[in-house]
C-alpha cells in the first residue's frame, strides 16, 4: 500500500474536550449577565435601528431560534426607550356635527385620563345641577310668565274677534271639526230653513258678513302656530339661558383641570355648546332616574346611554402606572384587529350599532412614539395583517377599519374615525429563509425595512468564549433558580454546544438546546438529592434524550441486525460499497449505512441513476450522479468514444433520496465494477466528489460515523472497521465517547481522504495509479484496469457496429 495514503485520525482529532479548569469561576471573565457572545454584527444593527430618527429604518432581525434574538431586541429597545420622552396621549371624542366620523384628539402626555375622568365628573355634576335649576322658583316664575303672556295674547285675539262678530250679528261656534261663524237673529243662530225665508237683499247682507268674518277667523287661527313657535323659541331661549348658567361655570372649572388651551379646551367648548343646546337630555335623564334607597346610583349619570356623547374614549394614555418613557410593545398575536385596532358593536333592538366609545386601540397605537416588536411569521400568517402593517408604515398613520365590512361579511352601522399619525419603529423577528422570500416577493419590503440584524449561529471556540459561555450558563441557572452546575458539568455542556454547532472549532450560539439539557440535568440532580449538577447528570440527560427519540433508529438497527436490510461489514465485493446517510426526525438525527451497487456493460455512454429513473432521487442526488459521468469521460480513454452503460442504485431504498454526499461512494463502486476489483465491506465512506475527482465536505458527518460504528459494534468490532470521510470534514468531528473509546483501543478508525484515488486505493488495497509523462497509467493499477475496460467496451462496440453494417449490406445488395 502507498505509504503516502492518509492515516486514521487520533482521538484528539475526533473529539474536542473542554478542560473544566477553563470554565471555573476562578478563570471566568468579568462580563455582564446580559452580554451576547459573538453577535457584534447583529447588535450594531439593533443599536442603529433603535437610535436613528429617520422614518422607514425599520428592522428585520434574522437568524436561527434560540440565539437570544428576542431577548437582545427587547433589552436594547427598552434601554433606548428609557432615554426618550413619553409620547402624546390620544383620545376619540364625539363629532357633534357628523357622529359617524369620531374626532381624534392629541393631548399632552398624561392628559387623556384627566380629560376622561373630568368629563365624567362634569356630566355627573350637571345631571344634578341642571334639573335642580329647572325646578327652581326663578325658572318656574319666568316659565309661567312666558306661558301666561302667550296665553293672554291668544285669548285677546279670539276675544276681539268674537266681540266684533257679535256686534254685527255673527256668532263664533266651536264644533268637533274646529271653529266656524254663523248669522244670529234675536240672540239665536239662524237655521238654514229660516235663512232661506228671508228676503234676498237681507240674505246677501248676511252672506257678505259671514264670508268676511270667515276670512278673519282663518287669519286668527293661522296666527296661532306662529305664536306657538314664538312661544317655544322663548322657552328654548330661557332653557338655554338657564342651562348656560350651570354649564359655563362647570366647563370653566374643567378647563382649570385639563388646561385652558389646546385640543382638550376646544373639546370642552364643543361640549359646552351642545349641552346648552340640549338641556332636555339632563331633564330626561332625571325623569328616568329610578327612585329607591340607593343614592349611589345618582352619582353615575355618565354611565347612562344619553350621556355617551360627552364621554372621552382613551386610546393611548401615559397614566400614573405607565412608564414615563417611550413604549416598547411586544405583540405575540398580531392579528388585523390587534395591530390597527377595531370597532366593536353592541346589539340593540335586534340590530348591531356602534359609536365612538366602542373604538379599541391596537398594538400600533400602544407603540406609537416608541417601538413595536413582532414575529414575522405570525404577522404573515394572519389575514390582512401584513397589508395593514405596511399601509400604516407607508402612510405614517393608523386608520381603523372594520375587517368584517372590508370582506363584506356583514353590513351594519359603522364608523370612520380620524386617522392617528404614526411614529413607530417596527422590529420584525424571523428566519433567513423568510427574509429571502420577502426580499424576492414583496417589492415594498426593502423600502420599509432598511436594516437587517443578522444573528450568528456559532462563535469561535477559544478560552475566552468558553469562559464567557460558562458564565452565561451560570447566570442562567441562577436566574431560573436551578442548582449550580459543577465545572465538569459546564465543560460537558460546552462540548455538547460544539456538537450542536457541527464544528469542533465552534460553539453554538443556540442557547435554547443547551439550557434545555441543563434544566433536565438539574432535575436528575435534585432527584438524586445533590446540591449541584454534575457531569454524570449531563451524561444521563444526553442518554435519555437520545433514547426517547430513537425508536425509528432502533428499528433500523434491528432490521440490519436481522439482515432484513442487507449490510455487509466483513469480506470484499465487486461493485458493492457501504455508503452513509443521515435521517432527521425533528431535532433528532441518526446515521445509517446503505448498500450501494454498480453494474456495467458495453453501451452508448449512458450512466443510469435508478433512483432518478423511478423519481425517488432528488435534484441534488441526480446532480451528483451526472458529475460522476463527467469525471469518467474526462479521465479515462480520452481518445475513444465513451461506450459504457452503467446503473447505480441504493439497495432496499423505499423512500426519497436527496443530497450528493454519496457521490464518492457511487464513483468508487463504479470503478470497482469496471476494474473488477473487490471493495472492502468493513469500510464505509461518505463524501461528495467533483469532476476533478476531489472529495468535498458533507453534512451530518458525526451521525454518519456513529451510525456505521453502532452496526459494526453490535456485530463485533474486529479492529479493521473504518469510515472514510472528506478531509474537509475533520474540523467538524465531535464524536460520542463510545466511538472515541473504540478508536483509542484500536478497534475502529476514521480516515480522511482528499481524492477519489485515495479512497479507491484504501478500499481495494490496489494503487490507484497516475498517468506518466506518456499519458499511461501504471500496469495493474485501478485506473489502468478501468481504462482498459472502457477501451474494451469501445472496441467491442466498434466491432459490433461493423458486423451490423456488413449484415445490412448482405440483406440489401
H/E segment holding residue 560? helix 551-561
Express each pLDDT in 529-556 by its tens digit.
Answer: 999 999 999 999 999 999 999 999 999 9
Question: Is 672 in the active site?
Answer: no
- Number of DSSP helices (H) and strands (E) in the chain, helices first: 28, 30
DSSP output for 765-796: SS------TTS-PPTTSHHHHHHHHHHHHHHH
H/E segment holding residue 684? strand 683-685
Q: What are the sequence ranges of the domains in the chain? A: 49-86+323-455, 91-157+204-317, 555-795
* Cβ count near 398 (within 10 Å): 26
* Cβ count near 406 (within 10 Å): 11
**Rounded Cα–Cα distance for residues 394 and 391 (Å):** 5
> From the candidates 318, 688, 704, 781, which is the catalytic residue?
704
Residues of the chain with pLDDT under 70: 1-3, 26-35, 149-161, 163, 165-181, 183-199, 202-203, 205-207, 213, 216-224, 227, 231, 288-302, 319-323, 404-413, 608-618, 620-622, 624, 654-659, 808-813
Strand partners, 427: 59, 373
**Rounded Cα–Cα distance for residues 420 and 417 (Å):** 9
* Cβ count near 282 (within 10 Å): 26
> What separation, in Å, do the N-terminal and C-terminal C-alpha atoms of the chain show?
59
- Strand, coil or helix: what is 749? strand
Sign of CA pseudo-dihedral 799, 805, 806, 807? positive
Model confidence, pTM: 0.78
**Rounded Cα–Cα distance for residues 791 and 250 (Å):** 110
Of the candidates 37, 10, 100, the one whose C-alpha atom is nearest the C-alpha of residue 464 is: 37
> From the candidates 392, 402, 661, 675, which is the catalytic residue?
661
Express each pLDDT in 153-188 by its tens digit.
Answer: 666 666 666 767 666 666 666 666 666 667 666 666
Check residue 33 and give its pLDDT: 43
DSSP output for 432-493: HHHHHHHHHH-TTHHHHB-EEEE--SEEE--HHHHHHHHHHHHHHHHHTTPPPBPHHHHHHH
Burial group, residue 129, by CB count within 10 angstroms (0-12, 13-18, 19+): middle
Beta-carbon contacts of 290 under 8 Å, excluding residues fewer than 6 positions away, are 297
Check residue 32 and give its pLDDT: 43
Check residue 294 and give its pLDDT: 40
* Cβ count near 26 (within 10 Å): 7
**Rounded Cα–Cα distance for residues 514 and 588 (Å):** 14
CATH (residue range 555-795): 3.30.230.10
- 1-24: b or e for each residue (b if 16 or more CB lie within 10 Å)? eeeeeeeebeeebbbbebebebbb
Q: Are 1 and 761 in contact (CB under 8 A)?
A: yes
Check residue 188 and give its pLDDT: 65
Beta-carbon contacts of 560 under 8 Å, excluding residues fewer than 6 positions away, are 567, 592, 593, 711
Question: Is 661 in the active site?
Answer: yes
CATH (residue range 49-86+323-455): 3.40.50.300
H/E segment holding residue 514? helix 511-527
Amino acid at each position: 500500500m502507498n505509504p503516502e495514503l492518509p492515516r486514521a485520525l487520533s482521538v484528539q482529532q475526533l473529539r474536542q474536550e473542554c478542560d473544566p479548569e477553563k470554565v471555573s469561576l476562578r478563570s471566568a471573565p468579568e462580563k455582564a449577565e446580559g452580554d451576547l457572545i459573538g453577535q457584534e454584527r447583529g447588535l450594531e444593527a439593533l443599536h442603529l435601528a433603535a437610535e436613528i430618527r429617520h422614518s422607514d429604518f425599520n428592522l428585520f432581525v434574522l437568524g436561527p431560534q434560540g440565539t437570544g434574538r428576542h431577548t437582545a431586541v427587547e433589552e436594547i429597545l427598552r434601554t433606548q426607550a428609557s432615554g426618550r420622552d413619553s409620547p402624546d396621549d390620544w383620545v376619540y371624542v364625539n363629532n357633534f356635527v357628523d357622529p359617524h366620523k369620531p374626532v381624534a384628539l392629541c393631548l399632552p402626555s398624561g392628559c387623556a385620563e384627566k380629560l376622561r375622568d373630568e368629563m365624567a365628573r362634569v356630566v355627573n355634576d350637571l345631571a344634578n345641577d341642571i334639573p335642580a335649576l329647572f325646578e327652581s322658583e326663578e325658572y318656574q316664575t319666568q316659565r309661567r310668565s312666558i306661558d301666561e303672556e302667550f296665553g293672554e295674547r291668544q285669548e285677546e285675539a279670539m276675544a276681539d274677534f268674537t266681540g266684533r262678530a257679535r256686534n254685527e250679528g255673527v256668532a263664533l261656534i266651536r264644533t268637533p271639526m274646529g271653529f266656524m261663524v254663523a248669522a244670529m237673529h234675536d240672540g239665536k243662530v239662524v237655521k238654514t230653513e229660516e235663512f232661506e225665508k228671508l228676503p234676498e237683499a237681507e240674505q246677501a247682507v248676511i252672506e257678505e258678513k259671514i264670508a268676511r268674518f270667515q276670512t278673519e277667523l282663518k287669519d286668527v287661527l293661522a296666527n296661532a302656530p306662529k305664536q306657538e313657535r314664538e312661544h317655544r323659541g322663548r322657552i328654548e331661549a330661557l332653557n338655554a339661558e338657564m342651562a348656560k348658567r350651570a354649564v359655563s361655570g362647570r366647563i370653566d372649572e374643567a378647563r382649570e383641570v385639563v388646561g385652558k388651551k389646546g385640543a382638550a379646551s376646544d373639546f370642552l367648548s364643543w361640549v359646552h355648546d351642545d349641552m346648552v343646546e340640549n338641556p332636555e337630555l339632563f331633564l330626561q335623564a332625571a325623569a328616568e332616574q329610578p327612585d329607591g334607597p340607593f343614592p349611589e346610583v345618582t352619582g353615575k349619570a355618565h354611565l347612562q346611554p344619553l350621556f355617551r356623547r360627552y364621554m372621552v374614549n382613551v386610546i393611548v394614555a401615559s397614566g400614573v402606572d405607565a412608564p414615563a418613557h417611550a413604549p416598547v410593545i411586544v405583540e405575540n398575536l398580531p392579528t388585523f384587529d390587534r395591530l390597527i385596532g377595531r370597532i366593536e358593536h353592541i346589539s340593540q333592538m335586534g340590530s348591531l350599532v356602534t359609536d365612538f366609545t366602542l373604538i379599541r386601540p391596537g398594538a400600533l397605537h400602544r407603540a406609537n412614539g416608541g417601538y413595536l416588536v413582532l414575529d414575522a411569521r405570525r404577522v404573515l400568517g394572519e389575514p390582512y395583517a401584513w397589508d395593514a402593517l405596511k399601509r400604516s408604515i407607508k402612510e405614517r398613520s393608523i386608520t381603523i377599519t372594520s375587517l368584517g365590512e372590508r370582506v363584506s361579511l356583514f353590513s351594519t352601522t359603522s364608523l370612520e374615525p380620524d386617522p392617528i399619525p404614526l411614529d413607530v419603529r417596527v422590529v420584525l423577528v424571523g428566519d433567513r429563509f423568510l427574509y429571502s422570500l420577502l426580499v424576492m416577493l414583496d417589492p415594498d419590503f426593502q423600502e420599509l425595512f432598511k436594516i437587517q440584524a443578522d444573528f450568528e449561529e456559532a462563535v469561535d471556540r477559544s478560552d475566552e468564549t468558553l469562559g464567557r459561555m460558562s458564565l452565561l450558563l451560570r447566570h442562567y441557572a441562577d436566574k431560573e433558580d436551578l442548582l449550580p452546575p459543577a465545572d465538569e458539568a459546564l465543560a460537558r455542556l460546552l462540548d455538547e454546544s460544539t456538537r450542536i454547532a457541527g464544528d469542533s472549532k465552534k460553539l453554538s450560539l443556540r442557547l435554547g438546546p443547551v439550557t434545555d439539557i441543563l434544566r433536565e440535568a438539574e432535575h436528575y440532580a435534585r432527584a438524586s438529592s445533590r446540591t449541584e449538577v454534575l457531569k454524570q447528570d449531563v451524561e444521563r440527560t444526553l442518554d435519555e434524550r437520545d433514547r426517547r427519540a430513537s425508536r425509528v433508529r432502533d428499528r433500523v438497527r434491528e432490521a440490519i441486525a436481522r439482515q432484513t436490510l442487507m449490510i455487509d461489514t466483513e469480506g470484499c465485493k465487486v461493485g458493492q460499497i457501504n455508503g452513509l446517510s443521515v435521517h432527521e426526525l425533528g431535532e433528532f438525527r441518526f446515521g445509517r449505512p446503505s448498500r450501494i451497487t454498480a453494474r456495467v456493460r458495453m453501451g452508448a455512454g449512458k450512466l443510469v441513476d435508478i433512483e432518478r429513473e423511478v423519481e425517488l432521487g432528488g435534484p441534488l442526488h441526480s446532480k451528483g450522479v451526472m458529475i460522476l459521468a463527467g469525471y469518467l469521460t474526462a479521465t479515462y480513454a480520452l481518445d475513444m468514444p465513451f461506450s459504457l452503460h452503467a446503473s447505480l442504485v441504493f439497495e432496499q431504498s423505499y423512500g426519497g433520496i436527496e443530497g450528493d454526499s454519496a457521490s464518492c461512494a457511487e464513483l468508487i463502486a463504479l470503478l470497482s465494477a469496471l476494474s473488477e476489483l473487490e471493495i472492502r465491506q468493513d469500510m464505509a465512506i461518505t463524501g461528495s466528489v467533483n469532476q476533478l475527482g476531489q472529495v468535498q465536505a458533507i453534512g451530518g458527518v458525526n451521525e454518519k460515523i456513529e451510525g456505521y460504528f453502532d452496526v459494526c459494534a453490535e456485530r463485533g468490532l474486529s479492529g479493521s472497521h473504518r469510515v472514510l470521510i472528506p478531509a474537509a470534514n475533520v474540523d467538524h468531528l465531535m464524536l460520542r465517547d463510545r466511538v472515541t473509546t473504540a478508536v483509542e483501543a484500536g478497534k475502529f478508525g476514521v480516515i480522511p481522504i482528499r481524492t477519489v484515488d485515495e479512497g479507491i486505493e484504501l478500499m481495494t488495497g490496489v494503487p490507484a495509479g497516475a498517468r506518466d509523462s506518456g499519458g499511461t497509467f501504471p500496469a495493474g493499477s485501478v485506473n489502468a484496469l478501468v481504462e482498459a475496460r472502457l477501451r474494451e467496451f469501445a472496441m467491442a462496440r466498434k466491432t459490433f457496429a461493423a458486423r451490423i453494417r456488413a449484415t445490412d449490406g448482405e440483406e440489401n445488395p
